[in-house]
Amino acid sequence: MCFSGSGPQTIDSATFSSVTSWLACSKCCGDGSSWLSSPGSDENARIYTLPEEPTPIMVAAAGPKAAELAGRLGDGLVVTTAEKEIVQTFDQNGASGRPHYGQMTVCWAADEPTARKTAHELWAFSSVPGEASQELPSPQHFEQVSQLVTEEKVAESVVCGPDPEKHIAKIREYVDAGIENVYVHQVGPDQEGMMRFYANEVMPKL
């Protein structure tokens, strides 16, 4: 709950982190406000160098309930999969014309076997099924569960290798789902190689 001179402003503190809740307060009452959320509270919180326009707050969602909440509270949507249902639910629960951002995870390497091996070594936890990826309490637990994830399973969600058509096809999945802003997340050490690959072989074909 956020309080200002104009009265209380409701904020879903169970969903937003404390920082996001405070930023949301600052949008509606940047002249000094107090907000209460678990586990603590701040009184007379204030940003002294507010921009002329309120800072947009993008809200991530991975399921329909989260997408509905994001639609009611967010200035934009962030997703990590190309699911049209999530985008549509967000759009149906708020103002039209808000941006959508999609993270597309890839692992570029000179050959596909190397890329798949790297993705499995560094990003296996992303393929942990169900709610386990949100509920596991420590990095050690993630390491243990990730040992059950196969290389093939990781390759289902991470675009691996140097074939530009695979990368382009995945980008089109995001666009077809209604996501107009796609940002590419490279797994692995060769960031420069991936950037050159996209500059020379992917972007010119989009």
Residue 92 maps to a domain: no
* Enclosing domain of residue 31: 1-54
Please tell me whether residues 112 and 169 are part of one structural domain.
yes
For residue 96, tell me if it sits in a domain: no
Q: Is the pLDDT assigned to residue 74 strictly greater than 60?
A: yes
Instruction: State residue 7's pLDDT score.
Output: 41
CA distance 105 to 93: 27
Regarding whether 106 and 34 lie in a shared domain, the answer is no
| Domain count of the fold of the chain | 2
The answer to whether residue 128 sits within a structural domain is: yes
Specify whether 105 is located in the same domain as 184.
Answer: yes
Cβ contact 147:139 at 8 Å: no
Mean pLDDT of 107-128: 93
| pLDDT value at residue 167 | 98
Predicted TM-score (pTM) of the model is 0.77
The number of residues in the chain equals 206
pLDDT in tens, 170-204: 999 999 999 999 999 999 999 999 999 999 999 99
Dump strand ranges (E) for the chain: 2-4, 7-9, 33-37, 40-45, 58-60, 76-79, 100-107, 159-160, 181-186
50 lies in the same domain as 132: no
Residue 107, phi then psi, degrees to nearest 5: -135, 95
The answer to whether residue 16 is domain-embedded is yes
DSSP 65-85: HHHHHHHHH-SEEEESS--HH
For residue 193, is it within any domain? yes
Q: Identify the band that residue 9 occupies on the pLDDT scale cut at 50, 70 and 90.
A: very low
Residue 12 confidence (pLDDT): 46
Contacts of 188 (CB under 8 A, 6+ apart): 107, 108, 109, 115, 118, 119, 122, 194
Q: How far apart are CA 156 and CA 116, in angstroms?
A: 10
Average pLDDT over residues 68-80: 95
Instruction: Indicate if 111 and 198 belong to the same structural domain.
Output: yes
Percent of the chain scoring above 90 in pLDDT: 59
C-alpha to C-alpha distance for 126 and 8, rounded to whole angstroms: 39
The verdict on 130 and 42 lying in the same domain is no
Residue 162 has pLDDT above 60, yes or no: yes
34-55 mean pLDDT: 66
The tens digit of pLDDT for each residue in 105-116 reads 999 999 999 999
> Does 50 share its domain with 107?
no
> Is pLDDT of 166 > 50?
yes
Within a domain: 86: no
Q: Is the dihedral of CA 43, 49, 54, 56 positive or negative?
A: negative
pLDDT score, position 43: 64
77 inside domain:
no
Which position has the token pair 């997703």?
Answer: 79
Residues 200 and 138 in one domain: yes
- Whether 154 is in a domain gets the answer yes
3-state secondary structure of 116: helix
What pLDDT score was predicted for residue 2? 39
Last residue of one domain, picked from the residues 54, 73, 93: 54
| 12 vs 147: which has the higher pLDDT | 147
